[in-house]
């Protein structure tokens, strides 16, 4: 007789399926290709710039630190000292050596040679003193330019109205002095086409320079530049007139916000003669305003005043 009370046991075996891998690798590969394209584009852009432009870009993104210390460790002379005693002794010894090597024909001619040697030594000492003064003056200007450049960048960064123009504003030190350039970018001009008056944001950026430049004793040059290929409706008003007028308008704006007239050395219209990118004079960046803070002229030697 069958046992109907015995329980029936059913075993079920579940098999785990492998999860679907999806297309995540495609996204990673696309990101890699995009990064490589951006990298090669960056290399191409860097190869198209000059050494001076590379230095300006590097200074813009990593401004030089300005040390306000006047000690020997962090001052202008870098821990060294400069004395005139060594130059004087060396000049005197050289004069005596030259006198001793020449045998005078008579007592009178010997006296003349001796006076000539002393005079040459005095001229050498004077020239050395002038050279030392010029070196000290340039070192002082370099320190002042570094401080002014930092102040200009800080003033621009504090203005939200010109944040989008950060790539249009360049500050760098050159052999002539401190260069401040306001350049056009593709799709982002600083002046309306054919107009000598800047946009309001450009005017704000220019106005911020006036109090900083006023604190420097150095004079400035203001030059206007245009890109090649522009078409002017008036045959009597072209790139030379436009670049000159823009430079003069910039001078007027600086004067309105505190720059005195005695700080201005020259106003120049350069037209297309000095492009920012010499290899491509049609680029928008060739349309710019350049403000150069000049090194102070060397001191005039005594006895040579006009």
> In 10 A of CB 175, how many CB atoms?
7
Whether residue 184 contacts residue 287, with contact meaning beta carbons closer than 8 Å, is answered with yes
Q: Within a domain: residue 113? A: no
Q: Within a domain: residue 247? A: yes
> Which structural domain, as residue segments, surrounds residue 231?
139-294
Say whether pLDDT at 79 is over 50.
no
pTM: 0.56
pLDDT digits (tens, 9 = 90+) for 260-304: 999 999 999 999 999 999 999 999 999 999 999 999 876 655 555
Say whether pLDDT at 131 is over 90.
no
Whether residue 99 contacts residue 258, with contact meaning beta carbons closer than 8 Å, is answered with no
Structure token digits, residue 207: 């106005």
pLDDT digits (tens, 9 = 90+) for 183-216: 999 889 999 999 999 999 999 999 999 999 999 9
Of residues 94 and 201, more confidence is placed in: 201
CATH of the domain at 175: 3.30.1330.60
Q: Total domain count for the chain? A: 1
Structure token digits, residue 69: 């210390």
Q: Within a domain: residue 62? A: no
d(CA 225, CA 290): 8
The sheet with strand 169-173 has its strands ordered as 169-173, 177-183, 288-294, 220-225, 264-271
d(CA 130, CA 301): 7
d(CA 183, CA 252): 19
Q: Within a domain: residue 61? A: no
pLDDT of 250: 97
d(CA 239, CA 286): 12
d(CA 210, CA 222): 13
Q: Within a domain: residue 305? A: no
Q: Within a domain: residue 220? A: yes
Say whether pLDDT at 88 is over 60.
no
Whether residue 209 contacts residue 152, with contact meaning beta carbons closer than 8 Å, is answered with yes
pLDDT digits (tens, 9 = 90+) for 136-184: 677 888 899 999 999 999 999 999 888 888 889 999 999 999 999 999 9
* Among the ranges given (12-16, 92-96, 125-129), the one the predictor scored with the smallest mean pLDDT: 92-96
Q: What is the mean pLDDT of residues 219-224?
A: 96
């Amino acid at each position: 007789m069958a046992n109907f009370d015995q329980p029936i046991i059913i075993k079920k075996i579940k098999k785990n399926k492998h999860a679907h891998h999806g297309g995540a690798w495609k996204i990673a590969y696309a990101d890699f290709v995009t990064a490589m394209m951006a990298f090669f584009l960056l290399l191409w852009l860097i190869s198209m710039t000059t050494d001076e432009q590379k230095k300006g870009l590097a200074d813009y993104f990593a401004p030089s630190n300005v040390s306000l210390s006047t000690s020997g460790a962090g001052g202008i002379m870098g821990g060294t000292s400069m004395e005139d005693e060594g130059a004087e002794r060396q000049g005197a010894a050289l004069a005596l050596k030259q006198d001793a090597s020449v045998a005078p024909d008579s007592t009178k001619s010997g006296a003349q040679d001796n006076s000539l040697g002393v005079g040459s030594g005095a001229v050498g000492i004077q020239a050395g003193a002038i050279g030392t003064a010029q070196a000290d003056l340039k070192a002082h200007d370099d320190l002042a330019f570094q401080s002014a450049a930092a102040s200009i960048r800080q003033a621009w960064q504090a203005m939200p109205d010109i944040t989008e123009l950060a790539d249009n504003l360049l500050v760098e030190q050159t052999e002539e002095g401190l260069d401040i350039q306001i350049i056009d970018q593709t799709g982002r001009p600083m002046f309306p086409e054919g107009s000598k008056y800047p946009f309001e944001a450009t005017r704000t950026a220019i106005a911020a320079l006036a109090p900083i430049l006023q604190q420097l004793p150095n004079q400035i040059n203001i030059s206007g530049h245009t890109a090649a290929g522009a078409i002017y409706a008036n045959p009597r008003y072209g790139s030379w007139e436009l670049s000159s007028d823009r430079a003069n308008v910039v001078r007027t704006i600086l004067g309105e916000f505190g720059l005195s007239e005695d700080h201005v050395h020259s106003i120049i219209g350069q037209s297309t003669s000095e492009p920012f990118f010499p290899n491509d004079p049609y680029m928008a960046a060739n349309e710019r305003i350049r403000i150069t803070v000049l090194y102070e002229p060397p001191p005039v030697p005594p006895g040579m005043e006009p």
